[in-house]
Amino acid sequence: MRPASLDEGKLLAQLREMGAVGRTPEGGRTRHAASDEDGEARDLLVRWMREVGLDVRVDRIGNIFGILAGENGRLDGACMVGSHIDTVTNAGALDGCYGVLSGLAVARAFLTEGVRPKRPLIVAAFTNEEGVRFQPDMMGSLAFAGGISAEEALAATDDEGRSLGSELERIGYAGEEPLPIATPGEYLELHVEQGPILDGEGVQIGVVEGVQGIWWWRITVRGTANHAGTTPLALRHDAGHAAARIVTFLREMAKATPATLATVGTMAFRPGSINVVPSEAVFTVDLRDPERACLLAAEEKIAVFTARVAEEEEVSVVMDQLVRFDPVSFDGGLLDLIEQAAAEKGFSSRRMASGAGHDAQMMARLCRSAMIFVPSRGGVSHSPAEHTEDDQLIRGAEVLLRVVSRLICP
Ligand code: GLV
Ligand code: MN
Ligand code: MN
């Protein structure tokens, strides 16, 4: 026996309620990892998991798991579904929450229809997927998959010097379960596309074949502070100008390569005064490409250009790599199952790659993994304007239910 349907109204209502946690005046929500707002969203999720009858556990890195027991009584080999509930600044309501709450909706379908699966179902909410406050991103799933030790992850600090470990303790989510709590048989993540492809083509379901590589750096340029009105251009060691040259170079480099994307999302000058030549510029670089060879080539070009700028501007340039996640391919068998489930439901689908990073990309190190996408209106995400129609959200959850049912109720 398999569950027949899920409670659509409940899923949509929970997405709205979770989306109200951490509201911003701009109409978005901000729930950086291990902040008060993240704590509030976690409390809500844990309450919902318990209400539905899941056994809730929290591991050392604050990952939350809602467990639905299987016939065989073992956690290893469980089917895991999930995503994250932390957000970027001023985010939409769906990025991450959609996968977690759809996972919960699937578990609820099993419990309300009294279906006991052969293997357990674990609904996971991973800590710090976004990586806004603590780096690296996808930290909870990375630690789960053994890519970083719990100690190293918990020691990561934010801009104010507070550690993830102390912040998790403060909000009550420094758990005790080991990493990983179990080795799943497979991991499935349902997510909004966050890009324009499905919406543009009018396709209902994305069968995600893999995730492009994501490399991050912090670049620090150091020059000399000096008077803006008295220092001739030729005598300046202007960290701000040198940084601007590198930023422009990154865009030109990306433009000249078919699939490379380069983004400078943060920058700060010191001393940060209108009439002072900057002595220091610190900025971040987010570099992405589906091909590792292209990332390596871009890294080399950036190194050569920054060395040139350092020499010409008589400044120093230091590149610290924060993240080096290579491209990942998902499991072919799971992709077939997703495609088949979409076809059985009468939904149109297409295979595609993910431009955004996801916990599934870390989980693929540990077990068979795959993702399901639904369209994002206009391809907008990481913005309060992120939107997916309710009927689309339900279609994605129905595909997830079908795939999970097939896997754990064979
Ligand atoms: C995660 O949202 C990322 O792609 O940076
Ligand atoms: Mn996400
Ligand atoms: Mn995101």
Structure tokens at 7: 């409670």
Choosing from 270, 303, 325, the residue where a domain stops is 325
Q: Is 359 in the pocket of ligand 1 (CB under 6 A)?
A: no
d(CA 201, CA 313): 47
Domain CATH for 112? 3.40.630.10
Choosing from 297, 325, 353, the residue where a domain stops is 325
Domain housing 299: 213-325
C-alpha to C-alpha distances, 344 to 204, 245, 281, nearest whole angstrom: 13, 53, 55
Q: Which residues of the chain have pLDDT under 70?
A: none
Q: Is 356 in the pocket of ligand 1 (CB under 6 A)?
A: yes
Q: Is 323 in the pocket of ligand 1 (CB under 6 A)?
A: no
User: Does residue 199 share a domain with residue 68?
Assistant: yes
User: Does residue 155 share a domain with residue 114?
Assistant: yes
CA–centroid distance, 358 to ligand 1, in Å, is 7
User: Does residue 140 share a domain with residue 275?
Assistant: no
User: Does residue 145 share a domain with residue 252?
Assistant: no
Strands 280-289 and 213-222 come out as antiparallel
- The residue whose CA has the least distance to atom 5 of ligand 1 is 357
Give a yes or no: residue 1 inside a domain: no
d(CA 334, CA 380): 27
Residue reference for tokens 């005790």: 176
User: Does residue 67 share a domain with residue 13?
Assistant: yes
Q: Is 357 in the pocket of ligand 1 (CB under 6 A)?
A: yes
pLDDT at 410: 87
Domain CATH for 230? 3.30.70.360
User: Does residue 238 share a domain with residue 157?
Assistant: no
List the one residue out of 266, 267, 268, 271 whose CA is nearest residue 224. 271
Ligand 1 pocket test, pick from 97, 127, 130, 325 with the greatest ligand atom count within 8 Å of Cβ, gives 130
Give a yes or no: residue 80 inside a domain: yes
- The residue whose CA has the least distance to atom 1 of ligand 1 is 357
Give a yes or no: residue 63 inside a domain: yes
Q: Is 130 in the pocket of ligand 1 (CB under 6 A)?
A: yes
CA–centroid distance, 129 to ligand 3, in Å, is 7
pLDDT at 4: 86
User: Does residue 218 share a domain with residue 194?
Assistant: no
Q: Is 286 in the pocket of ligand 1 (CB under 6 A)?
A: no
User: Does residue 332 share a domain with residue 272?
Assistant: no
User: Does residue 311 share a domain with residue 234?
Assistant: yes
Examine residue 136 and say whether the peptide bond preceding it is cis (omega within 30 degrees of 0). yes
User: Does residue 68 share a domain with residue 168?
Assistant: yes
User: Does residue 223 share a domain with residue 273?
Assistant: yes
CA–centroid distance, 88 to ligand 3, in Å, is 6
Structural domains counted in the chain: 2
Give a yes or no: residue 387 inside a domain: yes
Ligand 1 atom nearest to 356, measured from its CA: 4
Q: Is 139 in the pocket of ligand 1 (CB under 6 A)?
A: no
Task: Give the ligand whose atoms come closest to the C-alpha of residue 90.
Answer: 3
Ligand 1 atom nearest to 355, measured from its CA: 4
pLDDT at 6: 96
Examine residue 384 and say whether the peptide bond preceding it is cis (omega within 30 degrees of 0). no
CA–centroid distance, 34 to ligand 1, in Å, is 18
Give a yes or no: residue 393 inside a domain: yes
- Is residue 85 a contact partner of residue 31, using CB atoms and an 8 Å limit? yes
The reported pTM is 0.92
Give a yes or no: residue 2 inside a domain: no
User: Does residue 179 share a domain with residue 43?
Assistant: yes
pLDDT at 193: 98
pLDDT at 73: 84
Give a yes or no: residue 46 inside a domain: yes
Give a yes or no: residue 3 inside a domain: no
Choosing from 302, 325, 348, the residue where a domain stops is 325
**What count of other Cβ atoms lies within 10 Å of the Cβ of residue 13?**
12
Ligand 1 pocket test, pick from 193, 214, 376 with the greatest ligand atom count within 8 Å of Cβ, gives 214
Task: Give the ligand whose atoms come closest to the C-alpha of residue 287.
Answer: 1
d(CA 267, CA 281): 7
